[in-house]
Amino acid sequence: MQVIRIPALSDNYIFLLHEQKENIAAVVDPAVAQPVLQKLRSLDARLVAIFNTHHHHDHVGGNQQLLQSFDNVVVYGGAEDRGRIPGQQVFLQEGDRVTFGDRTGVVYFVPGHTRAHIAYYFAPNTAAEPGELFCGDTLFAGGCGRLFEGSPTQMLESLTKLQALPDDTRVWCAHEYTLSNLQFALTVDGDNADLRSRFSEVKTLRSRDVATVPSTLGLEKRTNPFLRWNQPNLQVAVNSQDPVQTFARLRGMKDRF
């Protein structure tokens, strides 16, 4: 399964999954349809599925036009997003499976950014391959999503689920927020050598307009403050040793950053 990153809007990423043997495709969080249709035409591939992580318009805005352009496209989303995702036909819960080509994805219920947010994890077929995590706006490179409909407790539990996946998992998050996320991270975890090195690399990449997505889960564990809430220096930075309070204070500081 090839994953093709398609930039859209000002800072969104749409992900096109391409199964070359059958020449079929699925799309994750199509913010808009046109660049997806253009890529499908260049591949001469048939769209068979839309995997939505949550209902926000910059993740589902292209659904209807894609449905009008192809027959028999199945639209997936979270069970609690019923009525909020255009064209949704399958209502997924924690632990459900989805299939695309020869790959099977596991659904994680990860509320926090929204009350119904889900993520899709496609485990590798061989030991030489990484897994693929499509996490929408829950986990970002260097950060996490704002809490619009969920609580700090929910978001912390959601991130903890994702944190348990293998370190080589590729993290396909839906926005190019990495540079600003790392700028904030340095204010609370500035002694972290891995973080300082990553910030320098990302600054160079973004100066050249190079994408920083995907990340890897191992890198996030070393440098993302929202996966490091149990580190003493971060607890000192927010004056709390309580996990939920530490996370909530970090998120509040990032909201004001």
Q: Is the four-CA dihedral 36, 169, 96, 55 of positive or negative sign? A: negative
Q: What is the mean pLDDT of residues 189-205?
A: 97
| Per-residue pLDDT at 128 exceeds 90 | no
What's the pTM? 0.96
Residue 112 pLDDT: 97
| Per-residue pLDDT at 127 exceeds 90 | no
Q: Which CATH number fits domain 2-255: 3.30.43.10, 3.60.15.10, 3.40.50.12780, 3.40.190.10?
A: 3.60.15.10
Binding residues: 54, 56, 58-59, 113, 137, 175
Beta bridge partners of residue 108, listed in sequence order: 119
In the chain, where are the structural domains located?
Answer: 2-255
User: pLDDT of 51-109, one tens digit each?
Assistant: 999 999 999 999 999 999 999 999 999 999 999 999 999 999 999 999 999 899 999 99
Annotated catalytic sites, by residue? 54, 56, 58-59, 113, 137, 175
Residue 126's pLDDT band (cuts 50, 70, 90): confident
Binding residues for Zn(2+): 54, 56, 58-59, 113, 137, 175
Report the mean per-residue pLDDT for the chain. 96
Q: What is the edge-to-edge ordering of all strands in the sheet holding 74-78?
A: 2-8, 12-19, 24-28, 46-51, 74-78, 90-92
